[in-house]
């Protein structure tokens, strides 16, 4: 799994330190699968009109305008002061097939209803039917508590 985080330099250094020297084991989701951090690195993102989205969550607002994806309800924030009370929200989960966005793509119903450009990781390009597309990213806000 690749986790992209954005924030100030100080926030990102704190995250890097926490991932490289954890106080507790990593737990991924409700299945209690254990994980470890293999690499922390800085990535320069670009803006692009073309992108692929795979194995990621995109805003639920995209649901009416794209073909691939499954609607999912997931915790948006968990309040640990209130017995782990969670506020759920909808996301569009893109797994397989990936969502391909480029001129004349067949994956979108109304391309003009999606953002004009996307943040992309140009180092993560993939080939789709002879077309090279960079990995598209959507950053979701990190909420501290239910009052956020």
| Residue 54 and residue 26 share a domain | no
| Residue 57 and residue 38 share a domain | no
| Residue 127 and residue 66 share a domain | yes
Pairing of strands 85-94, 99-101: unpaired
CA–CA dist 116, 61 (Å, integer) = 15
Residue 106 phi/psi, 5° resolution? -100, 0
Domain, as residue range, for 87: 45-148
User: How many CB atoms are closer than 10 A to CB 67?
Assistant: 12
| Residue 30 and residue 70 share a domain | no
- How many domains does the chain divide into? 2
Enter the tokens of residue 82: 């209130």
pLDDT tens-digit series, residues 81-128 = 878 788 889 999 999 999 999 988 999 999 999 999 999 999 999 999
| Residue 135 and residue 67 share a domain | yes
| Residue 19 and residue 76 share a domain | no
| Contact by Cβ (8 Å): 136, 120 | yes
Q: Is the pTM of this model over 0.75?
A: yes
């Amino acid at each position: 799994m690749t986790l992209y985080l954005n924030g100030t330099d100080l926030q990102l250094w704190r995250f890097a330190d926490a991932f490289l020297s954890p106080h507790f084991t990593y737990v991924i989701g409700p299945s209690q699968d254990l994980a470890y951090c293999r690499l922390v690195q800085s990535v320069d993102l670009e803006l692009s009109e073309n992108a692929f989205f795979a194995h990621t969550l995109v805003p639920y607002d995209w649901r009416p305008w794209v073909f691939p994806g499954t609607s999912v309800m997931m915790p948006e924030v968990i309040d640990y002061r209130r017995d782990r009370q969670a506020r759920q929200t909808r996301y569009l989960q893109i797994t397989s097939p990936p969502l391909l966005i480029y001129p004349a793509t067949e994956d979108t119903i109304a391309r003009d209803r999606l953002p004009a450009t996307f943040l992309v990781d140009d180092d993560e390009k993939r080939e789709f039917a002879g077309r090279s597309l960079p990995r598209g990213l959507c950053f979701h806000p990190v909420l501290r508590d239910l009052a956020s």
